A and B are shown apart, each in its own frame.
Chain A
Amino acid sequence: MRFAVVVFPGSNCDTDMFYAIKEALGEDAHYVSYRESNLSNYDAILLPGGFSYGDYLRSGSIASFAPVMEAVREYAELGKPVLGVCNGFQILLETGLLPGAMKRNDHLKFICETTPIIVTNNQTMFSSEYRQDERISLPIAHAEGNYECDDQTFDELKRHNQIVFQYADNPNGSKGDIAGICNKQGNVLGMMPHPERATVDLLGCDDGLRLFESILVNWREHHAVTS
């Protein structure tokens, strides 16, 4: 399986993401420039964390206009997997591929710690290798992870099972303890926790690996059916 790791000016988790795919998962990973306009060669798109364009104006706001994002939008419409982690999640919110927005953490501090996460929906192509309501551990590292949306959007997220991950112990004030959401079609996931930083025991935790394994398992199943 061919994974694209999109690199924006200011991305800083791209190497971790590349390592997670190449070494921990054992699949093909390729760095793709933010200038790229064709993503048809890839089976999944990964938007890594970092501070794209220095977080100027709002986190992810400038990156959402990078040439590659038009291609990501078209790619997502085809139902193929798109994962945004941390700043990648913020970029997906700014492009409108996912609903809502991020605010500063309620306590205004940057937080960097490993935190308990609940798998709220294991029926997605990103979470099928977890058990429903399983409690896992993942690292978080952000100052703006305080998810916000209006009540109507929040009801819709719940109704369509779009809340995939929730914090067991809300670290940032996020609405509904939201740590990760997907779109209605279930092929675009944004999450603040970093699964790519938790893929081998050496890193202290490997709970993130099954997220990438889920993508792979579902891709293989889909591929077996369609080919």
Chain B
Amino acid sequence: MVKVKVHVTLKEGVLDPQGKAVEKALQAKDFHGVSDMRIGKYMEFTLESSQVERQVEEMCEQLLANPVIEDYRYELEEVVTS
């Protein structure tokens, strides 16, 4: 069993209105030097599968991300069961 951690963000080049607003808010709070703020989604779940990577990629392509405007990446962690 593995723990899957999926990150979904808008593709590079696709303007992120939320990211821009938060970036400006940070500047207003006197945090300087911040650029390229992107806001995304984080999902985690455990998965029991013999083909973890293939399955996770299919999940991302078909549902978890919208490939038209979003990119995804994921991390896998072995779940230690006692």
Residues on A facing B (Cβ under 8 Å): 57-58, 61, 65, 93-94, 99-101, 103-108, 146, 148-150, 173
Contacts and interface: CB of A to CB of B under 8 A. Distances in A.
A108 B63 contact: no
Contacts of A108: 17-18, 21
A57 B10 contact: no
A104 B18 contact: yes
B14 to A, nearest CB: 6
B69 interface: yes
The size bracket of the interface on B is 10 to 19
Contacts, number: 36
B17 A101 contact: no
B17 A94 contact: no
Sorted nearest first, the 3 A-B pairs with minimum C-beta distance are A101-B68, A101-B69, A106-B17
Given A57-B63, A57-B64, A61-B63, A107 B14 contact: no
Most buried by A among B21, B41, B64, B68: B68
B9 interface: no
A58 B68 CA distance: 12
B17 A104 contact: yes
Given A57-B63, A61-B63, A103 B68 contact: no
13 contacts: A61-B63, A61-B66, A101-B68, A103-B14, A103-B15, A103-B69, A104-B17, A104-B18, A108-B17, A108-B18, A146-B17, A148-B68, A148-B69
Contacts of B10: 103
Contact of B66 (A94, A105, A106, A107): A94
Contact of A100 (B21, B63, B64, B68): B68
Contact of A101 (B15, B18, B66): B66
Nearest to A62: B63
Interface in B6-31: 10, 14-15, 17-18, 21
Contacts of B68: 93, 99-101, 148-150
